[in-house]
């Protein structure tokens, strides 16, 4: 039997090599710039603290996974993170996507106060909370802090909020043309969401329609004036414009916060041919009616070419009635009534001059109303008068200081360039600002006849080029 000899020297050498290798590994590990961190176990150390929250959704950031909720009745806002594990449901208890939660919604939420993490969010079904959708023509009175919806007036809460395009806006940026979702708590309005906003329609080539009426959208029906800028709900409509028996229509697309120019040239009224008639009536005190309307026969009368009816009445004379035709630039018509009891009948004699219009009788040609500028009505005090049909004019004024250089429109009527002062009119109205190269902007205002002047100032308009990336 062979006995194997143990080489002690070799074993000692191997042990030395192992120790040297271990030292090298330790040295290399300690030389690394990034120290090795042991995992933490906060989830186990600090358990979730579930807190309930009743409030209004005032912000939603899906990209970064955060939602902002303002506590009802308070100005405190909670920014909570969320993941796909959050339980989100509508008022009927059905699961819904977080993307479908509208700003302004009244919700009941549960969150982990230790981590500011949303656990559950339900659209509330509390009886004290109501939601009204597709509201049109809402009129907000900022002085009384009320809003009229479908004929009913509601108070607004002190911390009422408004939202549009997923951002918070000022309440006075809402116009009566907007379509809204309205949330109420204990019969007080607590939030608005603009479902459909408003854009602006500017009319051009409108001279033939001055004095007529223009209709756009749901509730924009106003007289045609110089340089109009109308605030209209976004959407596609058929613009209808009328003057007398003449009516024209044109398709209009209104884009939110955009201004569109609509030319009426292709539906303009052709000027009607007019003739001037001088009525020479005997006896001179007789009453003369043309087409059922009494006229003053001291001078020539302008009438549209075509047939007209005349009636002449005088005490002690036989009344006269006939149809006559206007077909010349100027004509004299003589009428002699017969006294009652005489056998002869009343007579008519005409004298025509196709080259003259009214000058022979000392009358002057009637000025076409389309050439008059209805906006040049400024008093000696520098206060611009307004011709709005809503509200009562007061003896006070509105002083508008900014945005400087912008064109100012009051209920669609052009007033001038800011800064400007104009007549104070009671009620709710829309002030619109427009400036070349800038986004137009509207604000709703409310005035009362309190014997005081009002001073208003608004932010500068947004430069369109600044929105281009």
Amino acid 222: pLDDT: 82
- Report the domain count for the chain: 5
Residue 444 DSSP symbol: E
Assigned domain for 164 exists? yes
Half-sphere CA count of 30, side-chain side, radius 13 A = 6
Assigned domain for 202 exists? yes
For the record, the structure tokens of 48 come out as 């979730």
Beta strands in 291-365 (DSSP E): 293-295, 301-304, 306-313, 320-326, 330-336, 347-352
CATH classification at residue 107: 2.40.50.320
Amino acid 369: pLDDT: 35
Q: Do residues 112 and 146 share a domain?
A: no
207, 194 contact by CB (below 8 A): no
Q: Which of 117, 55, 107, 108 is nearest to 83 (CA)?
A: 117
For the record, the structure tokens of 23 come out as 């030292």
| pLDDT reading at 44 higher than 60 | no
Task: State the pLDDT confidence band at 270, using cuts at 50, 70 and 90.
Answer: low
Assigned domain for 6 exists? no
Of 334, 369, 404, at which residue does a domain stop?
369
Assigned domain for 155 exists? yes
Assigned domain for 377 exists? no
Q: Do residues 278 and 349 share a domain?
A: yes
List the beta bridge partners of residue 449: none
CATH classification at residue 153: 2.40.50
Amino acid 14: pLDDT: 55
Q: Do residues 175 and 191 share a domain?
A: yes
pLDDT tens string 308-327: 889 999 998 998 988 899 98
Q: In the predicted model, what is the mean pLDDT of the chain?
A: 82
Q: Do residues 167 and 236 share a domain?
A: no
Assigned domain for 374 exists? no
Q: Do residues 202 and 184 share a domain?
A: no
Of 217, 247, 267, at which residue does a domain stop?
267
Helices (H) and strands (E) in the chain, counts: 2, 36
Assigned domain for 183 exists? yes
Q: Do residues 335 and 286 share a domain?
A: yes
| pLDDT reading at 468 higher than 90 | no
112, 141 contact by CB (below 8 A): no
Q: Do residues 362 and 280 share a domain?
A: yes
Q: Do residues 282 and 329 share a domain?
A: yes
CATH classification at residue 223: 2.60.40
Q: Do residues 353 and 400 share a domain?
A: no
DSSP character string of 198-250: EEEEEEES-GGGTTSEEEETTTEEEE--TT-EEEEESEEEEEEEEETTEEEEE
Q: What are phi and psi for residue 207, nearest 5 degrees? A: -55, -40
User: Which domain range does residue 113 map to?
Assistant: 47-123
For the record, the structure tokens of 118 come out as 């949303």
Of 123, 145, 177, at which residue does a domain stop?
123
Give how far Cα 256 sits from Cα of 163, 198, 203, 350, Å: 14, 5, 17, 60
Assigned domain for 432 exists? yes
| pLDDT reading at 231 higher than 80 | yes
| pLDDT reading at 41 higher than 60 | no
CATH classification at residue 404: 2.60.40.1120
pLDDT tens string 402-444: 999 999 999 888 888 999 999 999 988 899 998 888 889 999 9
| pLDDT reading at 27 higher than 80 | no
Q: Do residues 162 and 83 share a domain?
A: no
Amino acid 247: pLDDT: 80
């Amino acid at each position: 039997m062979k006995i194997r000899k143990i080489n002690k020297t070799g074993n000692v050498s191997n042990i030395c090599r192992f120790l040297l290798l271990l030292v090298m590994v330790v040295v290399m590990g300690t030389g690394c710039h990034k120290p090795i961190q042991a995992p933490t176990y906060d989830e186990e150390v600090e358990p979730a603290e579930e807190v309930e929250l009743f409030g209004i959704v005032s912000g939603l950031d899906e990209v970064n996974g955060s939602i902002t909720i303002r506590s009802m009745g308070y100005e405190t806002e909670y920014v909570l993170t969320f993941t796909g594990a959050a339980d989100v449901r509508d008022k009927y208890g059905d699961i819904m996507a977080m993307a479908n939660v509208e700003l302004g919604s009244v919700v009941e939420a549960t969150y982990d106060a230790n981590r500011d993490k949303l656990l559950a969010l339900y659209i509330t079904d509390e009886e004290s909370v109501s939601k009204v959708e597709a509201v049109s023509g809402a009129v907000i009175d900022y002085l009384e802090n009320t809003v009229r919806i479908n004929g009913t007036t509601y108070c607004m809460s002190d911390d009422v909020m408004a939202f549009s395009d997923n951002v918070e806006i000022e309440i006075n940026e809402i116009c009566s043309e907007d379509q809204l979702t309205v949330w109420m708590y204990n019969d007080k309005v607590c939030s608005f969401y603009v479902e459909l906003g408003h854009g602006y329609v500017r009319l051009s080539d409108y001279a033939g329609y001055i004095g007529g009426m223009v209709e756009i959208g749901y509730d924009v029906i106003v007289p045609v004036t110089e340089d109009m800028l109308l605030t209209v709900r976004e959407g596609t409509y058929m613009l209808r414009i009328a003057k007398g028996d003449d009516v024209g229509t044109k398709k209009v697309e209104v884009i939110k916060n955009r201004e569109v120019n609509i030319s009426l040239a292709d539906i303009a009224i052709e000027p009607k041919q007019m003739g001037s008639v001088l009525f020479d009536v005997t006896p001179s005190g007789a009453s003369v009616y043309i087409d059922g309307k009494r006229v003053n026969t001291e001078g020539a009368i302008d009438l549209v070419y075509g047939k007209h009816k005349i009636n002449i009445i005088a005490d002690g004379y036989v009344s006269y009635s006939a149809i006559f035709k206007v077909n010349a630039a100027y004509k004299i018509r003589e009428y002699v009534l017969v006294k009652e009891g005489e056998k002869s009948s009343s007579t008519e004699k005409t004298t025509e001059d196709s080259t003259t219009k009214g000058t022979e009788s000392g009358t002057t040609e009637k000025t076409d109303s389309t050439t008059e500028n209805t906006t040049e009505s400024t008093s000696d005090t520098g206060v611009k008068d307004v011709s709005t049909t809503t509200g009562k004019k007061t003896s006070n004024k509105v002083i508008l200081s900014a945005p400087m250089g912008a064109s100012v429109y009051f209920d669609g009527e052009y007033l001038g360039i800011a800064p400007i002062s104009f007549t104070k009119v009671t009620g709710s109205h829309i002030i619109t600002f427009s400036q070349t190269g800038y986004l137009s902007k509207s604000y709703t205002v409310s005035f009362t006849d309190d014997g005081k002047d009002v001073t208003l100032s608004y932010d500068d308009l947004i430069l369109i080029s600044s929105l281009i990336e």
